[in-house]
Amino acid sequence: MEVGAKRRQAGPADRLFVIALARGLSVLQAYSPGDDLLTNAELARRTRLPRPTISRLTYTLARLGFLASGSAGQGYRLEPHVLTLGFPVLARFDLRQVIRPMLQAIATEEGITAAIAMRDGAHMIFVDRFRAPGIAAFLQDVGTRVPIATTAIGRAYLAGLSEGERALLLSEIRAGGLPEWWPQLREGIERELARYRSRGFCFGGAWNPEMTGVGVPLALGNAPPAAISCTGPRARLDDARLEAIGERLKAIVRGLEKMPAGELRSGTQGRALP
């Protein structure tokens, strides 16, 4: 498994790029939801780094509190200290405090899941996730990354970008994937961009054949661009129901747009939308 999204290509002329730092971060990115202990051998396989390099990196990360070794010394697990890297980002996106009760209400009433996500390279990363009571817990929790090109929340994010920003991101997605898949991916993206122009929301694609969803972009004031979506089984969510849920998501965004900037920044919760 190749780890992480390459934000910059390091080369001989890229003297500012610190390879040792990039390698250390790739070790932290190698962990997936559900992982506990990973051995140096497994980390070497996932990061494609030499085992001696991995041994030095895991030792250093453990000394810094980001990793902890198992009781028998057979591997390393992530420590809660890793969360300190992401907390400043979540704190800056305090808009999610306002949206949280609204999305939870939709998830509960519709018997589905809802989410807020921000961009992470060619993926979206969940910064909040909600589910209806009784729905089995998913591995897709806060911190999970999903593809932009084939998910409702990713396509909604694309729809909310300017033409220039969208073109750059589509180029990155195309360069990072298999060439033979691009025509199909591009067709799905263009279809959902057209749906957004006519209806104001996007449907999901073929990332998970058993699930489907609907999403809308979220770009308010100085808040980082994001998207919100609702997801559920295809067997229960036909197009008509997805459209009705999409209208509810649009209403959330319209209401947020009418709220005073001070209330958005303060994270006011439970206030009825205009």
% of the chain with per-residue pLDDT over 90: 53
Structure tokens at 171: 């180029």
pLDDT at 229: 95
Is residue 223 very low, low, confident or very high in pLDDT (cuts 50, 70, 90)?
Answer: confident
> pLDDT: is 193 or 181 the higher one?
193
Computed over every residue of the chain, the mean pLDDT equals 85
% of the chain with per-residue pLDDT over 70: 85
> Has residue 176 got a pLDDT over 90?
no
C-alpha triplet 258, 260, 261: angle, nearest 5°: 115
pTM confidence score: 0.77
Q: What are phi and psi of 67, to 5 degrees?
A: -125, 160
- Over the stretch 112-152, which tens digit does the pLDDT of each residue have? 999 999 998 899 999 888 888 776 655 567 778 899 999 99
pLDDT at 210: 82
- Over the stretch 38-95, which tens digit does the pLDDT of each residue have? 999 999 999 999 999 999 999 999 999 999 998 777 899 999 898 888 777 776 677 7
> Has residue 270 got a pLDDT over 50?
no
Q: How far is CA 8 from CA 11, 51, 143, 145, 172, in A?
A: 9, 24, 22, 19, 11
| 102 vs 92: CA distance, rounded Å | 20
The number of helix segments (H) and strand segments (E) in the chain equals: 10, 8
Mean pLDDT value of segment 175-191:
89
